[in-house]
């Protein structure tokens, strides 16, 4: 058990200083009671924001400086207005629109176009964001939430790839009537061993993962001589019981190197600066490792002379890694085109993880935007008294504001470049993130607040420009303002059967799927939870018991699982949904009939649920103890689409959510 040590309260001056810098000195815990943050944690987090609070004298000086800055403040570093509304200005100003047009004004007018503009006064030049008030209505349809790596076909190499995604889009739309696909994050990892397995811990959120490339779909493969194609084909690894990311990458890298000389002329164009910097990181990482903090000191500065020399010496290799990103864009676009051709009313929605690795290309080239030694996570709650440490560095709020939120805009834009929608993992992070100072365990942190008007506004502006939908993952302990704001502004929240049902007090109004939120994306389960069959057969209890991860006695856990299953069967009976209590497959079909009735605009199923897989994709709290993100679907795509059990499970979704598949 975790020893409870009462926190040291913050003195008034420290509390005021923390508030001025958006650092929480207390917060509402998962049990809805106030939790005080230990004063040394507040001091440490302020230090991560370059605010000295190490002594009473330092607090006094920092507080005096913050008060003076607040008194002198005219406009904030970024001004956000909703389209159709204006705001007063402290002095006459010039507004420079995104297209270069200028206006002399005394106030921000209410008829400005959406976009990224600037306000210029005699003393300031700040960003002006004009953002949408509400997203367009999302079509009512159903679809699949995919762990792309788990798919496989005759054409893929040891794991799912972008070609499998395109086939899934085409066939699920044409043959099953699906209208949306949600895909796990496919952002870039460092091209070094061991290849990062978790899609939620990428090296960069601005570029894609070449591990998902299908070599036979490239123009270089088509143009290569027969003997080269034969050598490439011979590299194909077989799919084993578990996915071997390193073996797949080694095989694809070797094949891509064979194809590199045969790329067509239109794929030999010069990379833009951001892509060239990313490709430079990849080339250096191959020699010195995937964490730039371990590189020779001369290479740790992306603008230094040593890196400029590397760009000359390794020009061909840098071009190779830039080319891989060109291929990723082509194949991601092809998958989206397949969804459109199949008439999907929504299309392909890509998942955006919370952050990036501390030693990856984003922090190397944009390190001033990050708090490099802080880790993001979650505080302790009823399910995890030690909290969660995701090991990801957060953005600095003031750096974001000073840049007009350009880093966040670029990340969102990079995802929406090839997507019809974006799902924001841990969407509450647009409001606040749990910062864990260096040397502290996960539960000893505090919240640092961001500007949600700007973060949500940028997200909506980019999505509206791309014609895309927005979904926020708001599961777990989330402030009401997060979900309320999303619903009000047309961003879909997340509704999961296990969490919508009040297992301890059944019969609540929201228990019935018909009463779930309209502005939501609903599902039976998620990648961090047991599969439907696994949950019904208490596989999660058996697994956790085998790994010594249960919070209490094993028999109590099995009893709780049995009671939860009984409550779920009661729900099905109350809904009048026929099923066989002793047949797991029958219950899974009934669960799909239940969520088909959800009031939510989108309803998603998981391939692993409908094929009866007992293994969940990820077991939180484990690393090597469980094969997280390595479990392939037990059937290939041809068998999946031919499976009678799959057809039975999705029939209620098709019947309840039939749409006219014409875009």
pLDDT of residue 661 exceeding 60, the answer is no
CATH code at 163-346: 3.20.20.80
Q: Which tens digits make up the pLDDT trace of 453-499?
A: 999 999 999 999 999 999 999 988 899 999 999 999 999 999 999 88
pLDDT of residue 273 exceeding 60, the answer is yes
For every residue of 316-377, DSSP letters joined together read: HHHHHHHHHHHHHHHHHHHHHHHHHHTT-SSEEEEEE-S---TTSHHHHHSGGGB-TT-EEE
What was the pLDDT predicted at 663?
47
What was the pLDDT predicted at 1?
47
pLDDT of residue 353 exceeding 50, the answer is yes
The pair of three-digit structure tokens given for residue 630, joined into one six-digit string:
């390595």
Angle between helices 56-72 and 12-20 (to 10 degrees): 40
Q: Which tens digits make up the pLDDT trace of 394-403?
A: 999 999 999 9
Burial (0-12, 13-18, 19+ Cβ within 10 Å), 567:
middle
The ranges assigned to domains in the chain are 12-72, 78-131, 163-346, 492-656
Confidence of residue 509 (pLDDT cuts 50, 70, 90): very low
Identify which has the larger pLDDT, 86 or 247: 247
Percent above pLDDT 90 for the chain: 88
CA distance 600 to 613: 26
Q: What is the mean pLDDT of residues 59-66?
A: 94
Q: What is the CA radius of gyration of the chain?
A: 26
Q: Which tens digits make up the pLDDT trace of 106-153?
A: 999 999 999 999 999 998 999 999 999 999 999 999 999 999 999 999
Burial (0-12, 13-18, 19+ Cβ within 10 Å), 168:
buried
pLDDT of residue 658 exceeding 80, the answer is no
Considering the chain, what is the average pLDDT of its residues?
94
> Is the pTM value of this prediction over 0.75?
yes
What was the pLDDT predicted at 507?
53
pLDDT of residue 226 exceeding 60, the answer is yes
Q: Which tens digits make up the pLDDT trace of 305-318?
A: 999 999 999 999 99
């Amino acid at each position: 058990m975790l020893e409870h040590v009462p926190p040291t309260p913050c003195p008034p001056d420290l509390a005021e200083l923390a508030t001025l810098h958006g650092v929480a000195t207390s917060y509402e815990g998962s049990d809805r009671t106030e939790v005080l943050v230990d004063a040394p944690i507040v001091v440490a987090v302020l230090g991560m924001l370059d605010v000295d609070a190490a002594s009473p004298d330092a607090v006094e000086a920092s507080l005096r400086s913050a008060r003076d800055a607040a008194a002198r403040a005219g406009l904030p570093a970024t001004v956000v207005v909703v389209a159709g509304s204006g705001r007063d200005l402290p002095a006459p100003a010039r507004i420079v629109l995104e297209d270069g047009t200028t206006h002399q004004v005394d106030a921000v007018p209410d008829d400005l176009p959406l976009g990224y503009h600037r306000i210029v006064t005699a003393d300031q030049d700040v960003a002006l964001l004009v953002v949408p008030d509400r997203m367009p209505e999302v079509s009512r349809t159903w679809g699949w939430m995919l762990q792309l790596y788990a798919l496989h076909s005759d054409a893929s190499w040891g794991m799912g790839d972008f070609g499998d995604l395109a086939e899934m889009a085409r066939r699920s739309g044409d043959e099953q009537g699906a209208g949306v696909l949600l895909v796990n994050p496919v952002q870039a990892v460092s091209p070094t061993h061991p290849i990062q397995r978790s899609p939620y811990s990428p090296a960069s959120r601005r570029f894609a993962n070449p591990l998902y490339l299908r070599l036979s779909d490239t123009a270089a493969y088509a143009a290569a001589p027969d003997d080269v194609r034969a050598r490439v084909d011979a590299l194909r690894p077989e799919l084993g019981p578990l996915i071997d990311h390193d073996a797949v990458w080694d095989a694809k890298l070797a094949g891509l190197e064979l194809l590199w000389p045969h790329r067509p002329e239109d794929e030999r164009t010069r990379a833009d600066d951001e892509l060239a910097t990313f490709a430079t990181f990849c080339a250096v990482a191959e020699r010195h490792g995937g964490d730039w903090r371990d590189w020779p000191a001369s290479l740790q500065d992306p603008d230094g002379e040593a890196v400029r020399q590397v760009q000359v010496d390794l020009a061909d290799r840098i071009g190779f890694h830039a080319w891989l990103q060109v291929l990723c864009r082509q194949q991601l676009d092809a998958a989206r085109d397949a969804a459109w051709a199949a008439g999907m009313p929504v299309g392909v929605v890509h998942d955006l993880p919370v952050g990036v690795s501390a030693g990856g290309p984003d922090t190397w080239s944009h390190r001033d935007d990050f708090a490099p030694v802080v880790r993001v996570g979650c505080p302790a709650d009823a399910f995890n008294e030690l909290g969660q440490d995701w090991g990801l560095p957060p953005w600095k709020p003031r750096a974001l504001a000073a840049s007009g939120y350009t880093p966040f805009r670029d990340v969102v834009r990079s995802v929406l470049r090839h997507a019809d929608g974006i799902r924001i993992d841990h969407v509450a992070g647009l409001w606040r993130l749990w910062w864990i100072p260096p040397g502290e365990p996960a539960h000893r942190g505090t919240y640092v607040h961001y500007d949600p008007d700007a973060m949500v506004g940028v997200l909506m502006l980019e999505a509206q420009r791309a014609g895309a939908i927005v979904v926020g993952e708001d599961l777990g302990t989330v402030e009401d303002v997060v979900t309320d704001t999303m619903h009000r502004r047309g961003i879909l929240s997340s509704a999961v059967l296990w969490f919508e049902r009040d297992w301890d007090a059944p019969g609540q109004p929201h228990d019935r799927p018909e009463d779930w939120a309209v502005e939501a994306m609903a599902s039976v389960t998620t990648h961090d939870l047991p599969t439907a069959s696994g949950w019904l057969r208490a596989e999660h209890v058996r697994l956790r018991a085998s790994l010594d991860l249960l919070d209490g006695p094993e028999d109590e856990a099995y009893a709780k699982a049995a009671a939860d299953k009984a409550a779920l069967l009661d729900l099905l009976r109350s809904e009048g949904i026929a099923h066989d209590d002793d047949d797991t497959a029958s219950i899974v079909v009934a669960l799909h009939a239940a969520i088909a009735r959800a009031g939510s605009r989108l309803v998603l199923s998981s391939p692993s649920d409908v094929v009866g897989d007992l293994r969940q994709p990820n077991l939180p709290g484990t690393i090597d103890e469980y094969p997280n993100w390595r479990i392939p679907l037990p059937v290939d795509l041809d068998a999946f689409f031919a499976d009678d059990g799959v057809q039975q499970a999705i029939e209620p979704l098709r019947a309840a959510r039939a749409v006219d598949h014409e875009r």
